[in-house]
Structure 1
Amino acid sequence: MAHAFPVNHPLRPTYRALGGLTGIYLTAFGVLGVADTSGQEFFAQNDATALWQGTNLGYSVIAVVAGLILLIGAAIGRNVDIAINKLFGYGFMALSLAALAVLRTDANYLNFTIPTVIVAMVVGLVLTTAAMYGKVGTDEQSRAAREATLLLETH
């Protein structure tokens, strides 16, 4: 079934909050990871963990930066959060699939483990969902989106 993304969805504040909560989680994970791995090699491949996920200083810094950007986007709103959530959602899904491909090799530079791959994929899916249903627009754009959905359903 084809689907046109809604504008002014009734749950858009919930989706915006979901993006912000994801940013809080990533920031907390990253800060704990930086605290646990400080003083180690940036891309160390060891048994360092934060919140039961494999990490190293490199991935922890990436998580902190991504989390802060997501929080800033959620605070700004006005469809800025939609663009940020979409970008980071696709990015985390791609990162998790790439990490899964190199999980037990020397190319596992971010020190991912299976739990880290799962969490990164879930983060990507949550952010992508928040991006799809959180768009704010004018009443005219909202009507056009509803009409497009009705056209897609009848064909």
Structure 2
Amino acid sequence: MAHFPVNHPARPIYRAIGGLTGLYLTAFGVLGAVTTLGDELFAQDDTKVLGQGANLGFSLVALVVGAAILAGTALGRNRDVAINKGTAYGLMALSLFELAFLQTDVNIFNFSIATVIVIMVLGLVLLTAALYGKVGTDEEHKAWQEARLVL
């Protein structure tokens, strides 16, 4: 699609930002798993990890998602773009779902408002990294530049 940048000059920076996001989620998952190791999987209490509400279930999800993002960043060649884009949409949907049910029993991941904000921001950062991190051929890059000039 000619609307998304191909071979953007800042592509390595966006790839590094995606990797840092994965690193944060992995660190959060590890710290959360260590903190909540003896608790129920979906406990709803006042446990905080890095200032955010968490439980063992969300810690494991964050660990898996962070590891997937790091693997995509290490593999590169548009695999990171696909993983970051899918993960970004998933994180934004999760944060909106948890925001809607924050004060109810459906809050299975024990989110707080801080967690909702952090997960939404991480999703937006990953989406930005995905949109500017695409690698393509010289022909695709030229088509993208021509599409920009037409607009």
TM normalised by structure 2 equals 0.97
* SS at 1:75 equivalent: helix
Query: What 5-or-longer segments of structure 1 have no aligned partner?
Result: none
Which structure 2 residues correspond to residues 8-27 of structure 1 after superposition, within 5 A? Answer: 8-27=7-26
Which aligned segments of 4 or more residues in structure 1 are displaced greater than 4 angstroms? none
Say how many residue pairs are matched: 150
The aligned residue for residue 58 of structure 2 is 59
d(CA) in 1 for partners of 2:31, 2:49: 6
* SS at 2:106 equivalent: coil
* SS at 2:111 equivalent: coil
The aligned residue for residue 125 of structure 1 is 124
- Deviation (angstroms), 1:16: 0.4
- Deviation (angstroms), 1:36: 0.6
d(CA) in 2 for partners of 1:149, 1:4: 8
- Deviation (angstroms), 1:147: 1.2
1:30 paired with 2:29, answer yes
The aligned residue for residue 85 of structure 2 is 86
The aligned residue for residue 136 of structure 2 is 137
The aligned residue for residue 97 of structure 2 is 98
d(CA) in 1 for partners of 2:147, 2:88: 25
- Deviation (angstroms), 1:10: 0.2
d(CA) in 1 for partners of 2:100, 2:66: 24
Give the counterpart letter for 2:63 in structure 1: V
Give the counterpart letter for 2:135 in structure 1: V
Q: Deviations over 1:110-129 (max 9, x none)?
A: 00000000000000000000
TM normalised by structure 1 equals 0.95
d(CA) in 2 for partners of 1:149, 1:98: 36
Q: Deviations over 1:67-112 (max 9, x none)?
A: 0000000000000000000000011111100000000001000000
- Deviation (angstroms), 1:34: 0.3
d(CA) in 2 for partners of 1:150, 1:89: 29
Q: Deviations over 1:38-79 (max 9, x none)?
A: 011000000111100000000000000000000000000000
d(CA) in 2 for partners of 1:91, 1:145: 27
